[in-house]
Amino acid sequence: MLSKRKWVLSFIFVFSFILLAKLEGNDMLSTNYATTLLEPQKPAEIYKQVVAWVNRSDEVISVSAPVSNPPLIEYKSIQPLEDGAILSIEKSQELYASEDGLIIYTGYRKKTGKTLSILYDTGETATYGFVDEFRQLPYTTINAGDIFGTVANELLYVQVEREGELLGTDELIEWLAVTYE
């Protein structure tokens, strides 16, 4: 259902068109907008322009203060473990995607329990283990900032592969510090 704003804009547009047609019909205006709008192929073009103008309200507008984005994961400490790292989590939290990507695996692994892997558009593959709940199905696309899972345990396993190389703990700390835009 359309919002009140769109209804008001539609009413104003229709009212102004009727008023314009009346004024042109009484020769009070020397324009020919009403006749242009009533030509066989012009209404479609005008309709497209009006729809584009009305839908512009959904665009992102800048604000006076910077908007803070949540970090990918809030953790207390990080320890290397095999090919990735174990993060010590203080409280349950939602897991956010850092970039646009595709979920390529959701399942259970012997060493990391419930595990989810994402192939990001940047070419990186991130794997999260000890996940409590999956919010997305495998082989679905996600956008930056989308929630793909939750972690309720005290631990979270993270492994990131970039250009065929696994990130070390220091690089992983930098990767986790980046927030989505």
In CATH, what number is assigned to the domain containing residue 155? 2.70.70.10
Residue 147 has pLDDT above 50, yes or no: yes
DSSP-derived secondary structure for the chain: ---HHHHHHHHHHHHHHHHHHHHHHTTS----HHHHHHSSSHHHHHHHHHHHHHGGGGS----SSPPPPPPS---SEEEEETTEEEEEPSS-EEEE-SSSEEEEEEEEETTTEEEEEEEETTS-EEEEES-SEE-S-TT-EE-TT-EEEEE-SSEEEEEEEETTEE--HHHHHHHHHPPP-
Hey, which of 35-39, 121-125, 172-176 has the most confident mean pLDDT? 121-125
Query: How many domains does the structure of the chain reveal?
Result: 2
**Domain-located, residue 67:** no
pLDDT (tens digit, 9 = 90+) per residue, 65-117?
444 454 567 788 888 888 888 888 888 888 888 889 999 999 999 988 999 99
pTM above 0.95, yes or no: no
> Could you tell me the residue range of the domain that residue 132 belongs to?
77-177
36 and 122 part of one domain = no
120 and 163 part of one domain = yes
